[in-house]
Structure 1
Amino acid sequence: MKRWFYVLLALFIYFIVVGVLTLLESNVDESNIKSFSDALWYSIVTLTTVGYGDLYPVTPLGKIVGLLIIISSVGVLGYVIGEIMAKINDYMEKKKQGYFGTDFTGHYVMIGWNNFGRSVAQQILNTGKKLAIVVDSKEQLDLIKSNFETDKCFVLYSDIQNYDVFKKVNIEKAKSIFVNLSDDTDTLVFILNLKKKYSNLSFIATCKNASLKDTFMSAGVNYVVPQAEVASRLVASYIFEPQVAEYTEDLMSSSKSDLESDIQQYRILDSNEFANKEYLKIFYEIKERFNAVTIGMVSGKDLIKNPDNNHLVKAGDYLILISSGKVKSQLEKFFGVLEGQ
């Protein structure tokens, strides 16, 4: 309110000065400022530093008024440029912080950031998927921006306890939500509160205490990954079957080169030739065409490991297979979808 008061006061003084200049110059024969509009034109040309020179004061007092206008033009121009720069900087800062939101759809949302989250984000982005990350620290915001300069990664800096802000990451159109908070209790409470507002979301969470896995599942988390449990299994595997463990670790990560392999899943569309076909026939065809190995499938919400030979694969099912990065683009073209759900 104060700002508008000062703006109106400045405009009032400005028009008084223009009026005074009109009175001083309009009745002088040698002057070319004959009306208020002439004086207004002169003041605007002077204030904007254009200086056409078509109109100018000739009386001593008129020149003094003109000098005041010239001097004030420096301040006015500086103020205008400063305001413009402030608006631009404010816009750029808001854009950096994700204030204007994203139109991502079919993407993934990560809430919270740490070294573990960084590894997860890298794997998701390696597959070409879109990822929106929500953090409550500017330091984390800058860190993510410096590590993931890509149009497939959107970052929102906000208070994560304000559940309305998640509309800015288009959370209702996301495929799944990965809650990556540092404390198990905070994670559980956060998910319970978020599910009250967005009940149809699919949640994935990690927990440090493996005994809490059932509690997380009861709270509506779709998939729970106890970090220590997964790590201990891999370490144990390295101890007595190191080559198997090495291969498993390789498959767990997204392939970044043609030589690397990973586990992928592809949805069977209605138009795909594998729809309503027996699993064993699909197994051989995928091996022959793409040198990839089918190891299972998903039907509805059921994971079927090593299905029976005559199991019928239907449209809407997902095939799970092992392939190299070299044939990934061929597989996506054949299935007509990107890997993943």
Structure 2
Amino acid sequence: MKKWIYVFLALVIYFIVVSVLTLFESNADGSNIKSFSDALWYSIVTLTTVGYGDLYPVTPMGKIVGLLIIISSVGVLGYVIGEIMAKINDYMEKKNQGYWGTDFTDHYVMIGWNEFGRSVAQQILNSGKKIAIVVDSKEKLDLIKSIFETDNCFVLYSDIQNYDSFKKVNIEKAKSIFVNLSDDTETLVFILNLKKKYSNLSFIATCKNASLKDTFMSAGVNYVVPQSEVASRLVASYIFEPQVAEYTEDLITTSKSDLESDIQQYRIIDSNEFANKEYLEIFYEIKQRFNAVAIGLVSGQGLLKNPDNDHLVKSGDYLILISAGKVKSELEKFFGVLEGQ
């Protein structure tokens, strides 16, 4: 409010000075400032430092007033430029912090950041998907932006307890939400509160204490990954079957090159020729056409790790494959959908 009072007072003083200049110059011999509009034009040209020279004061008092206008123009111009730069800097800072939001859809949202989250984000981005990350410190924001310089990664700096701010990451149109907080209790409470506001979201969470897995599931988390449990299984596999463990680790990691393989899933749409075909027939065709291996199916019955040979694959089912990176684009073209969608 004070700012606008100062602006009003400055305008009043400005018009008073212009009126005084008109008073001194309008009736003077040889003067070219004959009216208020002439004086106003002279002051504007002077304040903007254009200086056409078409109008100028000729009386001693008029020159003094003109000198005041010239001197004040430096301050006014500096103030205006400063205000413009401040607005631009404020806009850019808000943009950097994600204040203006994103229009991502069918993306993934990660809430919280640490080294584990960094690995997860890297895998998502390697697969060509989009991710929005919410952090509660500027240091983390700057770190993420320095690591992932890509249009597929959006970062929001916000208080994670401000649930309304998640609208800026278009959370309601996200495929799933990965809650990546440091404490299991904090994660559980956070999910319970977030589900009150966004009840239809799909949640994924990790927990350090494997015994809390059922608690997380009861709270409405769709998938719970106990970090120690997954790590221990992989380590045990390396101990007694290292080649299998190495292959498993490779499969669950998004392929970065044409020669690497990973596990992918593709939705069967109505127009796809696999709709209403038996699983065994699809298995052979996938192998022959793309040198990929069908290993399972997701249907209304849930995950089928090894469907019966005569199991009918229907539109809307997801076919799970092992394939090399080099045929990913061919598979997406054949199925008419992107991997995982």
- Counterparts in 2 of 1:181 and 1:301: CA distance versus 1, 3 Å: farther
Residue aligning to 1:95: 95
Q: Distance in 1 between matches of 2:72 and 2:287?
A: 80
**TM-score, normalization: structure 2?**
0.99
Does residue 71 of structure 1 match 2:71? yes
Q: Distance in 1 between matches of 2:313 and 2:59?
A: 96
Residue aligning to 2:115: 115
Does residue 195 of structure 1 match 2:192? no
Residue aligning to 2:231: 231
Matches within 5 A, 1:12-31: 12-31=12-31
Q: Distance in 1 between matches of 2:325 and 2:71?
A: 68
Residue aligning to 1:183: 183
Residue aligning to 2:53: 53
Secondary structure of 1:43 counterpart: helix
Amino acid at match of 2:148: F
Q: Distance in 2 between matches of 1:72 and 1:304?
A: 79
Secondary structure of 2:141 counterpart: helix
Residue aligning to 2:82: 82
Secondary structure of 1:133 counterpart: strand
Q: 1:34: how far off? A: 0.4
Q: 1:301: how far off? A: 6.1
Residue aligning to 2:143: 143
Secondary structure of 2:178 counterpart: strand
Secondary structure of 1:178 counterpart: strand
Secondary structure of 2:77 counterpart: helix
Q: 1:141: how far off? A: 0.4
Q: Distance in 2 between matches of 1:79 and 1:300?
A: 66
Amino acid at match of 1:114: N
Q: Distance in 1 between matches of 2:84 and 2:279?
A: 64
Q: Distance in 2 between matches of 1:147 and 1:334?
A: 34
Aligned residues: 341
Q: Which segments of 5 or more consecutive residues in structure 1 lack a partner in the other structure? A: none
Amino acid at match of 2:119: S
Amino acid at match of 2:311: H
- Cα deviation 1:137-162 (Å, max 9, x = unaligned): 10010011111111111111101101
**TM-score, normalization: structure 1?**
0.99
Matches within 5 A, 1:316-327: 316-327=316-327
Q: 1:203: how far off? A: 0.2
Does residue 210 of structure 1 match 2:210? yes
Question: What fraction of aligned residue pairs are identical, expressed as a percent?
Answer: 89
Q: 1:300: how far off? A: 2.7
Question: How well do the aligned residues superpose, as a CA RMSD in angstroms?
Answer: 0.7
- Cα deviation 1:111-138 (Å, max 9, x = unaligned): 0000000000000011111111111110
Residue aligning to 2:171: 171
